[in-house]
Amino acid sequence: MRLWDYHTHSNFCDHAIGSLEDYTQSAINLNLNQIGLTAHFPMIYLPESFHHYAMLLEDLPLYFNETNELKLKFKNEIEVLIGLEVDYFKKSFKQIKKVIKKHRGKFDYLIGSIHAIPWDGYEALPIDMRKAVPIIKKLGIDNVFLRYYEMMDELVKTGFFDIIAHFDFLKKYGLIPEKNEMIYQKILSVLDHIKKKDIIVEINTSGLRKSVKEYFPSDDIIKELIQREIPMILCSDAHTPNDVAYSFNETIVKLKKLGLTKLYQFEIQDGSFKKVPKRIL
């Protein structure tokens, strides 16, 4: 079975390496049948310290031009899909949504994620950065986890996103809640809302490259996703061309052991964008 990877980054994000074409070529070399190019949507609507993690608003036309050129250039070798990873930030979500709606028709799908948690006394907690760990411990790991999943619930309820990125991302640096059961019940509530909204959850293999050394989300959460029949896709969250489809074959073996029988793939059908189940062979 030829695979697909729907979450990759490039030099359109200041923290990733390689051009959009580099990632596309890497996917071709791996014999993927689809590659999703998904730069971070501009973070200018988040606190200022986050602005440099993504492209500027004026870069969006160039991003759409380049991705569309790659669609045409490699159409006989691979299907190129265009996406955006968009940070959910409640205070400015209306502004974010307004700008994105102006560009409808230029991209295929949206990935929703959380990298910044608003907190009194702080601009926002940068949970993608190791420097946030001592702050989180000071504020109380349980408190921050609970707020993170409250934000995830808000993200889901917007119904604005096609894919949920790295669901339990807050564990990236090995943080573990003390009141596991309380947090887990909140997780289950969020999953129930994901099911109602019919949103896809990515199995993100980038966690294997982080200090936590496990998938986003964890095996226990994957089992809950399987039980609820929530659609799942494989994503590498690649930040270098060599990360494309990272550990996908081993991950499929693992997912089959956990009881998963199908992954989802995107297809254009009758001019509309649809998710289609593909049985794991």
What's the Cα-to-Cα distance from 201 to each of 71, 115, 164, 174, rounded to whole Å? 25, 17, 5, 21
Q: Is 26 helix (H, G, I), strand (E, B) or coil?
A: helix
Tokens 């996103």 belong to residue: 161
Structure confidence by residue, pLDDT tens digits, 128-138: 999 999 999 99
Is the pLDDT reported for residue 111 higher than 60?
Answer: yes
Please, what are the domains in the chain? Answer: 4-279 (3.20.20.140)
- Say if residue 275's pLDDT is above 80: no
Question: How far from each other are the two terminal CA atoms of the chain, in whole angstroms?
Answer: 7
**Arithmetic mean of pLDDT over the chain:** 94
Does the pLDDT at position 281 exceed 60?
no
> What is the chain's length?
281
% of the chain surpassing 90 pLDDT: 87
Provide the angle, in degrees to the nearest 10, between the axes of the packed helices 248-258 and 219-228.
60
Distance CA 245, CA 254 (A): 15
The C-alpha atoms of residue 114 and residue 155 are separated, in whole angstroms, by: 9
pTM score = 0.95
pLDDT band, very low/low/confident/very high, at 270 (cuts 50, 70, 90): low
